[in-house]
Amino acid sequence: METYGIDIWSDDNFVIEDGVVKINYAAKPALISLVNEIRAEDYKGPLLLRFPHLIEKQINKLFTLYHNAIKEYDYKGKFNAVFPLKVNQLPNFLHPLINSGEKYNYGLEAGSKAELFLAMTYNKIGAPITVNGFKDKEMIHLAFIAKKMGHDITVIIEGLNELETILEVEEETSLPTPSIGLRVRLFNSGSGAWAKSGGIDSKFGLSSTEILEAFEMLEEKDLTDILTMIHFHIGSSMSTIKPLKNALKESGHIYAELKNLGANNLNSINIGGGLAIEYSQFQRTTQYNLQEFANDVIFTLKNIAKQKGVDEPNIFTESGRFISAPSTVLIAPVLELFSAEYEAEHLRLKELNPPLIEELKELYNDINSKTALEYMHDSIDHLESLLKLFDLGYIDLEDRSNAEILTNLIIKKAIWLLEVDDFEELKRIDNKIQEKYLLNFSIFQSLPDFWGIKQEFPVMPITHLDKNPTRSASLWDITCDSDGEIEFNEDKPLYLHDVDLKKEEYYLAFFHVGAYQDILGMRHNLFSHPTEVNIVFEKNEVKLEKILETQKIIDILEDIDYDTKEIKSILKQRLDKNTYSILKSYLDQNSYLKTAWS
């Protein structure tokens, strides 16, 4: 049976049992029963299911890995972690994260003023805050205010001008000065799709000359004590450990050199984010084991400290994708299978049909399990010839319709025969016979990284898993954009079930969508975020919490700055009272499609 690589990517968070996907936790509820429960309350369209227990699991995992490694190597520094807000800033995600992190003193990382406001408000006092990204005087002033609020805040300097501004604000105000870190521009760059976050030509960080200058600037003002951290971030989704090890050595030596120059309070190395999540359904792409990863970090830093005779530094990490990606699952209802319209009852065969149509009829009547593959390919060839004949004017529209229906019927029959007799052969047959599945969602809104950088996400149906999937599938969203498609890929084939949507429902789940997708998502065609729900386990009970419905059409229009009163009054003027009142109720609905199963 097809398992959609669940053993590769799901980390035991989800399992297939009784033909459905279940959450591998507590009483193991099935995704389909949660979906049905939510939809029974009249929430239609795509759904985002968030699982706070999976946020907690990842946080526990991260801290356990490093605590193990620290113990193993008798390391003297402490382990600290912050969550980078840019990876997911939404309240339904952030509140559970803060709760689960409290016991570890887990903090937040901010990369913009708005994110810093969130950190200042929701971070537990005493848990660390780090501030990255480009900063102006106002943002630096905010950091001073956060320090006054009692936050343990470290401003990471990306350029010397930022340090100048800090020294300026320090002189101008009576507020306490936050700690600072220096982001180093590494010679050893990262790996993976986001490698340009690190490296010598990186957008971020100080060169070695600038680091020395920065230290001199601090010495001049007698402020070397505010320097506590060295920071680097080599990019997201590291697939091997090697680049990190190189970066650790480089920054470890910078740390030690600065300590020996007299940076007395320098005590931490912040290794940024980049811990990978397995997105592939076909083979493991992450070439390291997480414990090995943490051990390498501790071991490398321990050696450098020993070699240079300095204290073993505290370690900070800012992994975001690793913490948040598994926590969210997108559910998209299938609206339509494109071949469903090709039914025998729609045939309009004539007394006298073109010879190729007659041949298609014969293929359809004679096909058996031995001839299935051959007849299917013949029928596709015939269809191609008939379409050419249509373009040349030799056959009419009825003939063309008959050709399309017969070919699709032959394909379906061949698939059925092969499924029974030679399923492996069926899986090998070419992608000419793929089925198009229309999904009630927007790729631009819900999987923007697929659109932007062809990021794969694990995808599978949440039911029917006790049956063989027989259709090579391409997935279409409901935007009017030809990029709103996940094409069938022969190297990474997706097979789905042949379902009759008039009789049964069929949902696809996309996993690991909890990192970056929510905020990167765009409202192409004015499709807004899906309805989202937190799935919370209390003892053995599962509860739906914090249901946040997708936006109404009228609210989306208001969001893009239309005067909604004007919209309503113009529509009202142009219609009679009754029709207008119907229209008004439509404005209060969302943009996603509504059908029995949608």
Ligand X SMILES: *Cc1c(COP(=O)(O)O)cnc(C)c1O
Number of C-beta neighbours around residue 29 at 10 A = 17
For 16, the enclosing helix (H) or strand (E) is strand 14-17
Q: Is 334 helix (H, G, I), strand (E, B) or coil?
A: strand
The stretch near ligand X (CB under 6 A) out of 20-28, 83-91, 137-145, 368-376 is 83-91
The stretch near ligand X (CB under 6 A) out of 221-229, 320-328, 436-444, 478-486 is 320-328
CA distance 94 to 540: 24
* Residue in this structure with the two tokens 């600065």, named with its chain if needed: 258
Site string for ligand X, 5-34 (x = CB under 6 A): ------------------------------
Residue count at the site for ligand X (CB under 6 A)? 15
Minimum CB distance to ligand X, residue 273 (Å): 2
Minimum CB distance to ligand X, residue 291 (Å): 18
What helix, strand, coil percent values describe the chain, rounded to 5?
45, 15, 40
The stretch near ligand X (CB under 6 A) out of 14-22, 319-327, 451-459, 485-493 is 319-327
**What are the strands, taking DSSP E only, across 366-449?**
435-439
CA distance 536 to 167: 47
243 in contact with ligand X (CB under 6 A): no
Q: Which of 233, 464, 497, 524 binds ligand X (CB under 6 A)?
A: 233
Q: Which of 115, 318, 399, 518 binds ligand X (CB under 6 A)?
A: 318
> Nearer to ligand X by C-beta: 87 or 533?
87
Residue type, 558: E
* Residue in this structure with the two tokens 């030799």, named with its chain if needed: 394
CA distance 63 to 44: 39
> Nearer to ligand X by C-beta: 236 or 440?
236
170 in contact with ligand X (CB under 6 A): no
What is the bridge-based pairing of β-strands 507-510 and 495-496? unpaired
Minimum CB distance to ligand X, residue 60 (Å): 17
Q: Which of 321, 412, 497, 524 binds ligand X (CB under 6 A)?
A: 321
Report CA dihedral (181, 187, 188, 194) to the nearest 10 degrees. 70
Radius of gyration of the chain (CA): 29
> Nearer to ligand X by C-beta: 328 or 407?
328
Phi, psi of 48 (to 5 degrees): -110, 120
135 in contact with ligand X (CB under 6 A): no
DSSP bridge partners of 459: 510
The stretch near ligand X (CB under 6 A) out of 29-37, 268-276, 463-471, 474-482 is 268-276
Number of C-beta neighbours around residue 521 at 10 A = 22
268 in contact with ligand X (CB under 6 A): no
Closest residue to bound ligand X by CB: 273
CA distance 523 to 530: 11
> Nearer to ligand X by C-beta: 60 or 303?
60
87 in contact with ligand X (CB under 6 A): yes
Q: Give contact residues for ligand X (rule: CB under 6 A).
A: 84, 86-87, 132, 233, 236, 272-275, 318-322
